[in-house]
Amino acid sequence: MNIRRSFAIVLRIFYLMRGSFTRVFPLFAWAAIDIILWGFITRYLDTVQSTFNFVSTLLGAVLLWDFFTRAMFGISTSFFEDVWSRNFLNIFATPLRLSEYLVGLVAASMMTSVIGLVVMLVLATVVFGLWIFSYGVLVVVIVLGLFLFGIAFGIFAIGIVLRLGPAAEWFIWPMPAVLAPIAAVFYPVSALPNWLQLIARLLPASYLFECLRALVARRPVPMEELWTGCALAGVYVVLASWFFRGMYLHAVRTGLVARYSAETVS
């Protein structure tokens, strides 16, 4: 493991963002719009009835789900930068190991997703009075668990794009929206039909959002669920990395790395 090589991947993303407003803006713009939209909706719902705290529960969920999305897109967008600039041959003909590449993508994702998180936290706190970390240190564990799950999902997504070709990036963008209803972000897993609950239980986010709801409602946090969610996210990072490695080795066997833009799905 050579940390300088991983740093090169991060530095490339930093250089790209430093010189490009169009790359920096989306890091926080959509997340900020989500916070503002849901902030006003939940504030309105709080005025309609007073038995349920909509701002904390729903806005907190929106904030953390957007953070998960940022973490996932942090990985996939960094990878797409090499796709868009047809840089695969240059990158993969260097001594860079796959593990060094993935560590670089994770670090780049950390850099970009933290920017989005900070903007969301500032907006939620200043405009809607929601300081999510006031619920204690366990929120940090939930954030870390969601970050890991975002990383796992991001690595899985770029494995798919590597296998299917550049046009497959359009499968990637809607993935968090497809996942959100099953991951029980805004309601308990018990609200889902039985067969969907089984799928939800495969997603770390479903455990972590149950914990968030317990925290916000000042109920005891189901610690088993918290650790299950985090452990599952960790396992998925390993599985996704293994999947990406498989896709990469297939691309090296078939010549897809050298001729990536050819989109030869075989």
Residues near another protein (CB under 8 A): 2, 4-5, 7-8, 11-12, 15-16, 20, 81, 85-97, 249, 252-255, 257-258
Query: Measured from the CB of residue 171, what is the shortest distance to another protein in angstroms?
Result: 24
Between 218 and 253, whose beta carbon lies closer to another protein?
Answer: 253
In the bound complex, what is the minimum distance in angstroms from residue 5's beta carbon to another protein? 5
Cβ proximity to another protein: between 45 and 111 the closer is 111
**How is residue 57 written in tokens?**
């529960």
- The CB-of-23 to another protein minimum distance in angstroms stands at 10
Q: Give me the least distance between CB of 70 and another protein, in Å please.
A: 22
Q: 1 vs 137, which CB is nearer to another protein?
A: 1
Q: Which is nearer to another protein, 22 or 194 (CB)?
A: 22
Output the smallest distance, CB 92 to another protein, in A. 5
Query: Which residue's CB is nearer to another protein, number 17 or number 63?
Result: 17
CB of 102 to another protein, least distance (A): 14
- Contact at 8 Å (CB) between 177 and 206? no
Of 104, 105, 133, the residue nearest 118 (C-alpha): 133
* Nearer CB in complex with another protein: 94/190: 94
Name which of 20 and 134 has its Cβ closer to another protein. Answer: 20
- Minimum distance, C-beta of residue 84 to another protein, in the bound complex (Å): 8
CB-count burial class (<10 Å; 0-12, 13-18, 19+) for 119: middle
Q: How far is the CB of 170 from another protein (least distance, A)?
A: 21
For the chain, what is the HEC assignment? CCHHHHHHHHHHHHHHHHCCHHHHHHHHHHHHHHHHHHHHHHHHHHHHCCCCCHHHHHHHHHHHHHHHHHHHHHHHHHHHHHHHCCCHHHHHCCCCCHHHHHHHHHHHHHHHHHHHHHHHHHHHHHHHCCCHHHHCCHHHHHHHHHHHHHHHHHHHHHHHHHHHCHHHHHHHCCHHHHHCCCCCCCCCHHHCCHHHHHHHCCCHHHHHHHHHHHHHCCCCCCHHHHHHHHHHHHHHHHHHHHHHHHHHHHHHHHCCCCCHHHCCCC
Between 94 and 134, CB nearer to another protein:
94
